[in-house]
Structure 1
Amino acid sequence: MEQQQQQHLFITLSFFLVFFLHCSTPTLAQAPALAPAPPGPTNVTKILEKAGQFTIFIRLMKATQVANQLLGQLNNSNNGITIFAPSDSAFSSLSAGTLNSLTDEQKVELVQFHIIPTFLSSSQFQTVSNPLRTQAGDSADGKFPLNVTTSGNSVNITSGLTNTSVSGTIYTDGQLAVYQIDQVLKPYQIFDPRPPAPAPAPAKSKKKAAAIAESPDDTTADNSKAVSLTAMQNVVFWGVSAIVIALSL
């Protein structure tokens, strides 16, 4: 009996001890969930590197500093960008030495000719106004004209010297759209510059023209006066002669 009481007392004390330890143990504060890391800046060259087969276009973008310009435009403003990216096979189809023959300024213009300073989704190609203005500059005929037409799901692009079509969408996020093309877009300004229009011939002086126009009339008037004077002299001469002859008779 006494042994049972001791066991009961031991169990009771154990229960109170466990309860006391449970209540006195500090509750660890739950650490707040980590906020997701902010997305990195939109980098066109990294997008193209991930897609593959755009090595030459990437090299041109970096060499001309256009890549850095795009990085700033995309991450420091809300302006959209559309890029027509020629594949490596597109550059391979150019005549040998074409890129090496270009000046640094022409290389910049060539890269910028593939960039539209606004975001164009695939559906917007159906309603876009031609010619498109590129970052290369003036879209007037003979400089940097670029026109887009659609036929069903096909998007056709022409520069006047190059006719190609969009072969795929590489990237789009509502601000940046990158489309693959299989030919390099060649602008007139670089590959077929047109000579400037000849200057108009200078207009003739009005005074000289008037003098030339009046000269024949003046000569005619002088001749008429001379003829009239001669006729009068003849009349007087013959009249006097007739009087002299009459008196002599």
Structure 2
Amino acid sequence: MEFKAAALVSTLLCLALSHGALSQRAPIVETPAPAPAPAYVDLADLLSLAGPYGTFLDYLTKTDVIKTFQSQANDTKQGISVFAPLDSAFAAVDSGALSNLTDDQLRSLMLHHAMPRYYPLSAFSKLAAASPVSMFAYKVNVTDHAGIIGVASGWATAKLVSSVYSTSPVAVYALDTVLLPKEVFPTAPEVTPVAAPAPAPGRGGKPMDDAPGAGRGSKANVGDKGSSCRVGAGSLLVGYVVLMVCGFLMV
């Protein structure tokens, strides 16, 4: 009887100790891995490194429109499509027409060079059918003729010459002409046509064989001279042999 009581006490004591140990063990909680930070495209760096867009970037920075574009790219689901005129496009516009703009007009002009939504190249045929299309400021008409995309606004019709960057939510396209909306320019500013690059030298130039001293005549002269030398040497040899024979007979 005493043995059974002792065994019962030991069992109860073990259960109590086990319960205490389990109650002190911290619960296991699976902590989810932190979500990766979104990869934002720095528009200023992109335009600075991509090529000849320095003038456009300077105007974006001067008017703080670069902040508007960057916020649209980072903080919205719609994304952004930027149309960046080349430096040569800005150089073609009369400098007075740009320098005489007020701060608000210049800001509106820069806002007129982007759509508040990401559009890949494959979407431009639909944009052309839905024209006019809204920019951040004012509207433009998009055209798509056999893959040649145009953007018309006010006094200017620009051609999309290349895709600088296009990965959702950011697209940047290069234009060969600055968009000139009538809301900013009541009269058409003077624009100098961009000179076409000089054509590469073709095959119509004077060939080397036609150059002085390099024609067929000069080659023939060289050949004739060599022939005369060989004939003269042969005549001397024949004369020498005749003299030797005559001397032998006289002896």
TM bucket, shorter chain: 0.5 to 0.7
Matched residues, number: 154
What pairs up with 1:119-198 in 2 under 5 angstroms? 119-128=118-127, 129-136=130-137, 144-192=138-186
Query: In the TM superposition, what whole-angstrom CA distance separates every residue of 1:166-188 from its partner, at most 9, and x where no partner exists?
Result: 00000011211110001100001
Query: CA 1:160–1:100 in 2, change beyond 3 Å: closer, same or farther?
Result: closer
Q: Structure 2: how far apart are the matches of 1:58 and 1:164?
A: 18
Q: Which runs of 4+ in 1 moved over 4 A?
A: 37-40
Q: CA deviation at 1:122?
A: 0.8
Query: In the TM superposition, what whole-angstrom CA distance separates every residue of 1:25-54 from its partner, at most 9, and x where no partner exists?
Result: xxxxxxxxxx9x856532111111111211
Partner AA of 2:41 in structure 1: T
C-alpha contact (below 8 Å) 1:41/1:71 kept by paired residues: no
Q: Which residue of 2 aligns with 1:43?
A: 42
Q: Structure 2: how far apart are the matches of 1:149 and 1:73?
A: 25
Partner AA of 1:155 in structure 2: I
Q: CA deviation at 1:134?
A: 0.9
Q: CA deviation at 1:77?
A: 2.1
Q: Which residue of 1 aligns with 2:55?
A: 56
What pairs up with 1:85-96 in 2 under 5 angstroms? 85-96=84-95
Q: Which residue of 2 aligns with 1:115?
A: 114
Q: Structure 1: how far apart are the matches of 2:94 and 2:68?
A: 29
C-alpha contact (below 8 Å) 1:147/1:158 kept by paired residues: yes
Q: CA deviation at 1:61?
A: 0.6
Query: In the TM superposition, what whole-angstrom CA distance separates every residue of 1:121-141 from its partner, at most 9, and x where no partner exists?
Result: 1111101211111111xxxxx
Q: Which residue of 1 aligns with 2:83?
A: 84
Partner AA of 2:142 in structure 1: V
Query: In the TM superposition, what whole-angstrom CA distance separates every residue of 1:179-215 from its partner, at most 9, and x where no partner exists?
Result: 000110000111127xxxxxxxxxxxxxxxxxxxxxx
SS across alignment from 1:97: helix
Structure 2, unmatched stretches of 5+, are 1-33, 188-251
C-alpha contact (below 8 Å) 1:132/1:146 kept by paired residues: yes
What pairs up with 1:223-238 in 2 under 5 angstroms? none
SS across alignment from 2:40: coil
Partner AA of 1:174 in structure 2: S
Q: Structure 2: how far apart are the matches of 1:177 and 1:64?
A: 21
Q: Structure 1: how far apart are the matches of 2:151 and 2:116?
A: 16
C-alpha contact (below 8 Å) 2:154/2:179 kept by paired residues: no
Amino-acid identity (%): 30
Say which one has the larger Rg: 1
Partner AA of 2:91 in structure 1: S
Structure 1, unmatched stretches of 5+, are 1-34, 137-143, 194-249
SS across alignment from 1:191: coil
Q: Structure 1: how far apart are the matches of 2:63 and 2:125?
A: 32
C-alpha contact (below 8 Å) 1:53/1:88 kept by paired residues: yes
